[in-house]
Amino acid sequence: MTTSRDIRFAILGAGVAADYHRQAIAANEDRGARLSAVGHYDPARFDEISARFDAPCVPYETILRDPDVDCVCICTPSGQHEEQAVAAAAAGKHVLVEKPMALTLGGADRMIETCAGAGAQLGVVLQRRATPVFERIKEAVASGHLGTLTLGAITLPYYRPESYYGQAAWRGTWEMDGGGVLMNQGIHLVDLLVWLMGDPVAAAGYADTLSRDIEVEDTLAGVLRFASGAVATITATTTTDPGFPHRLEIYGTDGGIQVEGETVRRWEVGTAGAPPLEPPTVYETSDAGAAGSARGISAAGHIKIVRDFVGAVRGNRAPMVDGREGRRSLAAVLAVYDAAGLNDQRGELTHV
């Protein structure tokens, strides 16, 4: 089904992620995207939030009852995603949810099933898939330019000071954050590994809280093994001042690619059995970006995700990163957590 009328969004939450969604919706006004409202739990903040987002701030329940809201962007603490997504779908709204989509695979499955049953689109904001450099790497892998994949690696030497976790009581908790550096920051790069190399069949890991006064891990090392026999390493921390750009490396029997931030550092791609593929335009980032601050990323990825989501709603098709795709990266993170013994700390949260 297609429609030419505006697609009206409401955002749940008013933090950093919500501001990226605000920017993305505004950037897609030419596609008919409109911000109708912002949902929040605290009436004392309604006026301030309304002014900042240039849209009415109302209780969550008001948004669910509003027949003029087509899509709900969920930008609340991770531990609230599942219930809010299910409620929005049951109210007839399409759902675009920030990562991680849920804290458990059972929660992710419930979201997928509820949205499917309600005829609602479910999209997950794993926006690095929409970044041109990673789109080109996906093309290189899919077209066989790296041969058979054998090795992947992601490194996140990030920095989040104690004050970052002190901004809100839910940060750094198992109940509402669901995990630390891997679940919160690293899941974006884990998602790229899964997208490029497939679903892992085994995992190993070590994790600890070395520097921050939080429940969850601030440092982790892991290994994923894939059905082909290929392996990928994961190293991540939020303790490294001032923060350094993440790295992604992918290697196969015919070549390899090394990326730092969104900058290609090495592009050695074989052409056996495939036409030549030039590297993407190489550009230098001026700072560590997301490595040093949650506000350090560009809004470009969110803009493309929202643009695609508008098209998915109009065309009644799956979004670029739908619920099943979002579940894959969550499953990989939880497999490493299980291997590292963190699921004992997660208490009632489990990986099944």
Domain boundaries, the chain: 7-127+300-322, 129-293+330-344
Q: Do domains 7-127+300-322 and 129-293+330-344 have the same CATH topology?
A: no
Q: Are 339 and 142 in contact (CB under 8 A)?
A: no
DSSP code per residue over 271-304: -TTS---PPPPP---SS-GGGT-TT-S-SHHHHH
Homologous superfamily assigned to 7-127+300-322:
NAD(P)-binding Rossmann-like Domain (3.40.50.720)
In CATH terms, the fold of domain 129-293+330-344 is Dihydrodipicolinate Reductase; domain 2 (3.30.360)
Along the 352 residues of the chain, how does pLDDT read in single tens digits?
A: 334 689 999 999 999 999 999 999 999 999 999 999 999 999 999 999 999 999 999 999 999 999 999 999 999 999 999 999 999 999 999 999 999 999 999 999 999 999 999 999 999 999 999 999 999 999 999 999 999 999 999 999 999 999 999 989 999 999 999 999 999 999 999 999 999 999 999 999 999 999 999 999 999 999 999 999 999 999 999 999 999 999 999 999 999 999 999 899 999 987 655 556 677 765 444 445 565 555 667 899 999 999 999 999 999 999 999 999 999 999 999 999 999 999 777 665 554 4
Per-residue pLDDT, 94:
98
What global pTM score does this model have?
0.92
SS3 state of residue 132: helix
Give the residue among 286, 281, 284, 254 at the shortest CA–CA distance from 268: 254
| Separation of alpha carbons 263 and 311, rounded Å | 29
Q: Which residues pair with 34 in a beta bridge?
A: 8
Give the residue among 317, 323, 311, 294 at the shortest CA–CA distance from 100: 323
Beta strand pairing call for 33-39 and 263-269: unpaired
| Separation of alpha carbons 29 and 14, rounded Å | 20
